[in-house]
Every structure is written in structure tokens, then in C-alpha cells.
Amino acid sequence: MFGIYLKRELGRRKKAALVIALGLALGIALVITVNSVSAGMTQAQDKVLQSLYGLGTDMTVTKARTAPSADSSGGPRFEFDAKGEDDDDTEQSSDRVSTQGGQALKAALVTQVADQKGVAAAVGALTLNVTKVDGSFTQGKAQSSTSGSSGSQGGPGGSGGGSTAAPQVQGGGASFDVNSYSVAGVDVTDQDLGPLASSKISSGVTFTSAQTDAKVAVVSKSYAKENSYKVGSTLTISSTKYKIIGIATPDSSDSTTDVYLPLKQAQTLADAADQVTTIYVKAIDSQQIDTVKATIQKNISGTTVTTSADLAETVSGSLSTASDLATSVGKWLSIAVLVAAFLVAALLTSSAVSRRVREFGTLKALGWPSRRVTRQVVGESMVNGLLGGALGIGLGLAAAYTVTAISPKLTAELGNTGGGGGTGGGPGGGGPGQQSASNTMEIALSAPVSVTTIALAVGLAVTGGLIAGAMGGWRASRMRPADALRSVS
């Protein structure tokens, strides 16, 4: 009886039911669209963070570089050997190796970090900057010129004479090329963490655990292409030759590391024995990263712990603006539209009940209790709500698909997140500060729709139906049979 009467009444009031369903559908579609775009923003931001932070780890531990003293060198020094005077062209080459990033940490600190509660693993790495200067000097020639003056008074005897001017150097000069690239010292015993964790070996092999102090290297694909390196080639750094055993392709196109060496070899190059610049930390539980960060900062003073959430604050540009818009303005707009949709549905349902005074009054006169009349109204509202949910899901999916198909481009600017720049490179003298990590990226926006979003839409449809049904049912329950008799013409 309930189902038959419900079907008949909805069939009689198709327009009213469609208006209520469309109102709910628009609100639900907006929620799906905003949630999908917000999820797309999160994915886009993750891509940016991966390129900036793609290290296969949860957090890094560094130490900010101290300000250089007044008597320290303000920049890199390059010293060249003096050659013989007979050499016209003198080829010169010099490498300047300096630690890059924050202040060097003792390697023993890696074990101390690994022992902290909530830490699954920790490895150290040493980041270097190598500046190579090579070129040649061309020696100039000293030439003298003689000038005379007829009016000049000569020496004893009164005869005039010429004078010889000071010799002048003509020609000569210098031509030098400067090439700078980054080197990362890798703990070859645990390559699941650290700089090499976010790259795949596309040619050759990676380090073995036995190559802790071997003169071997892995270079990035872009650096190998730029310098025509291949597996088996020789790379020379500060007169030390390294055999290239592998070519690495980074997961992120924004990776800044050019050369990977075993950690001990990198320490030897930089004269930084038993030192690291960064400690990469993997947490036992990804949900407890903030807790682990607080523990490390509390127990190991003077260090800076950086997580993905911290780096998210450095992302700016249209990606950040759109993300803020989707998460804040979009959220409140969705709430406002939903509230309006629910209120409109409730008011339309209540108004429809008011126009059915004769019907409900007659049903009560025939013996229908108030709860049965209320159940009938709520049932009709629930059907309207589910219909609105289905329409809203369809509209929301269409909007999300449109955003994904169009794929609008958003820009993201990555700020400098280094542990401190400045001079004073590594042990043994000043050096160039850390290279700025400021980059601009373009990210294609997508709008993925998750099962959770669909479940939320269904829940909102049911809620909207219940709200409208509750108000309409309350109005219907207050009607009396006498109202129906008075409305009979």
C-alpha cells in the first residue's frame, strides 16, 4: 500500500519532485566538483613537493649554517701554478669542492637520530658543489719605444740625443670556462633513503654495499647527456678519477643532483671526514611524522627538521592560490549552497503539503494515524533526495571530467628551503653558498573523483531528503480531518 501510494503521488507531482531534486542536485554537484578539484590540487602539490623533496623519506635533519666570521674568505679561491716564461699558452685547470647546504654534522649524529622513538631508519648524506675552472693564459710581449727631440740639450758636448721610454706589455690575456655541478655522497649500504632513492638506474648498475670507498660514480641522465658521458666513462674531480657505473633517471624532472659518489669518497673530496650535511629519516608510522619531528628537535638540539608539510608552505604561484581557493572559499561556498538547497527543498516540500490539505485530511478521516501520514511525506522526500543525489553525482562527474579533459595549467614557485647559504663552504676555506632552490613549474590540473566523494554525495542526498521530509511530515501531522471538510467546495 505504501509503495503504490508513493508511486502514484510522485507520478502526479512530477514537476514539483523534479524541482526539489534539481535543487539538491546542484548543491551535491558543487560539493563533488569542489572536492575533486581540491583532490587534484593536492595531487598537483604533491608533484611539486616530490620534485623538491623527492628523497624517498619522511623528513630531513640539517643544521643551519652559521654566519661567516669577519676574517673568513668571502668567496672561492682558485690557485694556479706558475709556469715558465717561455710558455706562450699555459693551460690551467682547478676544481673547487665545497659543502652545499647547511652546516656539516658529525656522522655519529646519524646513529643518534636513528635511535629516537618512532624512527624506522636514518642515513646520512653529504651534498657538495664542485666549481671547475679551466682555460689558458697567453703571455704578453714587452716592447720598448725610442723617441727623440731635436730641441733637447744633450749631454756634455752639447749634442742632442734620443730617450728610451719604459717598456710596455702588449698582447696576452686569459680565457677560462667555469662549470659548476652538484655532487651527493650516498650511503651505499642503505640506498632506500637519501638522494639516490628518488632515481631509477636507466643504464648500468647502482652502487653495491661493498663499494663504500670505491672510486665509482653514478651520474644523472641530463648531466651525462650534457657532457657525453656513458657507462664506463671516466669522470675527474680534483685530479681523482671515477669510473661511471650507472646512469640515473630521476623520478622528478626538477632533481638538482648531477653526480652521486660513495659517501666516503665525497667526504674525502671535501676534506670533511666523518661529516654529513643532511640526515634522511624514515618514520615507523607515517601518521606520526609530526610527533617524530618534535622528538628529534627536543632530544637533538641545534638541528632543523623538515617535513613535507613544512615544504608545502614554500609553494606559491597560481597553484597555491587555486589550492587555497579550493580548500577555503570552495568549502564555504559548498556549505552555503548545500544549506540553501536543503532549505529550498524543505520549504517546497512544506508548501506542497499545504496544498494537499484535502488529501491528508481525508486520509486521517479514513483512519490514517499521523505517523502514517508523516511516513508517507518522508518517503516521498527521500525519493526526491535520492533522485537529486543521482542527478548531482552525474553533474559532478561531468564537471570533474571536464576539468580533467581541459587540464588547465597552474604554476608553482618553489622557494629556497635550504639549511642556510652564505659563504664558508666546507672545511678548509670559504666556498659558494647553497644554490637557490627557487624554481617555477607548470602543473596540469586534474579532478579525480574518489569513492569517498561519491559516498559523501549519497549521504548528502539522504540528509537533504530527511530534512525536507521532516519539515513536510511535521506540517502534515498537524492537520485535522476538519480541515479537509472545510476545503471541500
pLDDT tens figures, 96-115: 888 877 788 898 999 999 99
Q: 6-20, 138-152, 238-252: which range is least confident on average?
A: 138-152
| Cα–Cα distance for residue pair 7/336, rounded to 1 Å | 32
C-beta separation of 99 from 429 below 8 A: no
Q: pLDDT tens digits, residue range 14-59? A: 777 788 788 888 888 888 888 888 777 777 766 666 555 444 567 8
Per-residue pLDDT at 210: 93
pTM for the full predicted model: 0.54
| Cα–Cα distance for residue pair 441/51, rounded to 1 Å | 10
| Cα–Cα distance for residue pair 97/265, rounded to 1 Å | 12
All structural domains of the chain with their residue ranges: 2-52+317-408+445-486, 64-68+90-134+177-302
CA angle 397–398–402, rounded 5-degree value: 115
| Cα–Cα distance for residue pair 465/275, rounded to 1 Å | 65
C-beta separation of 102 from 304 below 8 A: yes
Beta strand spans in 20-83 (E):
59-62
Q: 296-300, 317-321, 434-438: which range is least confident on average?
A: 434-438
C-beta separation of 425 from 431 below 8 A: yes
Average pLDDT, the chain: 75
Per-residue pLDDT at 430: 34
Q: Which of 217, 198, 186 is nearest to 123 (CA)?
A: 186
Select the more confidently predicted residue: 388 or 474. 388
Q: 276-290, 301-315, 385-399: which range is least confident on average?
A: 301-315
The burial of 167, by beta-carbon neighbours within 10 Å (0-12 exposed, 13-18 middle, 19 or more buried), is given as: exposed
Q: Quick one: DSSP state of residue 65?
A: P
In the predicted structure, residue 229 carries a pLDDT above the cut 70: yes
The owner of cell 503504490 is 4
